[in-house]
Amino acid sequence: MSDDPTATQPRILVVDDEEHITELVAMGLGYQGFDVERAATGRQALDAVATKAPDLIVLDVMLPDLDGFEVARRLRRDEGAGTRIPVIFLTARDTTQDKVEGLRLGSDDYVTKPFSIEELIERVKAVLRRSAGIGPGDKKLAFADLELDEETRDVWRDGRLIELTPTEYKLLRYLLANARRVLTRDQILEAVWDYTFAGNASVLETYISYLRQKVDATDPPLIHTVRGVGYTLRLPR
């Protein structure tokens, strides 16, 4: 947070129908200097987005009217260019399928209950830092909860910093830059290792295995094999 007392602090909208959860999160964020707004239903959340213009939303999934997934769906549908609001789901729904759905809807993080308020605050700060850099000329690549900063060469997954070797970084960067596309083995070998390695598929398979151990240590898995063709970075189907 800024030490400048005149600086405008980020406004966080906390959406949860459990009052004790809302109170805990609001108190923790408030102690960190955030401006906190609250909502108890999905419709209240959408109204608050329109009237309060939050910088980030902490959003429960199980709400009494519109569930959090539907709130996120409507937010993303109605957002214009350059107006994307970061969303962190905070929910008891902890299956991989639920997390995949949240990420498909464009959430920036997915935290399950029970949770640590200290960890949630750090995740809020991390998402705000990353979202602040998104724009023309930005040097970040992102897909689901995986992010890569081309300036610092830092890589995060689910808010966790991942240490990569130079070759692992180059391979992941190529996959991220072509997210959702199926890349042939030859395309990857040429882009990452150049023609001198063409045909040495075992090298590629080894580094894909290394990446999976680091990047896909968190569910859902993002690096997928396309049999007989190559690899792709996408959410599970």
Burial (CB count <10 Å: 0-12, 13-18, 19+), residue 166: exposed
Domain final residue pick, 132, 160, 193: 132
* Amino acid 6: pLDDT: 42
Distance CA 230, CA 65 (A): 44
* Amino acid 62: pLDDT: 94
Overall domain count for the chain: 2
Q: Are residues 74 and 110 in the same domain?
A: yes
Distance CA 102, CA 123 (A): 16
* Amino acid 195: pLDDT: 55
User: Peptide bond before 114: cis, by omega within 30 degrees of 0?
Assistant: yes
In a domain, 40, yes or no: yes
In a domain, 137, yes or no: no
Domain final residue pick, 109, 132, 155: 132
Q: Are residues 158 and 214 in the same domain?
A: yes
In a domain, 147, yes or no: yes
Q: Could you tell me the CATH number of the domain that includes residue 105? A: 3.40.50.2300
* Amino acid 211: pLDDT: 96
Tell me which residue has tokens 């800024």: 2
Report, as ranges of residue numbers, the positions in the chain whose pLDDT lies below 70.
1-7, 80-83, 132-138, 195-200
Which residue range forms the structural domain that includes residue 68? 11-132
Q: Are residues 155 and 97 in the same domain?
A: no
Q: Are residues 58 and 128 in the same domain?
A: yes
In a domain, 6, yes or no: no
Determine contact, residues 59/72, Cβ cutoff 8 Å. Answer: yes
Q: What percent of the chain has pLDDT over 90?
A: 58
Domain final residue pick, 103, 132, 161: 132
Q: Are residues 114 and 159 in the same domain?
A: no
- Strand 160-162 to 155-157 pairing: antiparallel
Determine contact, residues 71/15, Cβ cutoff 8 Å. Answer: yes
Q: Could you tell me the CATH number of the domain that includes residue 209? A: 1.10.10.10
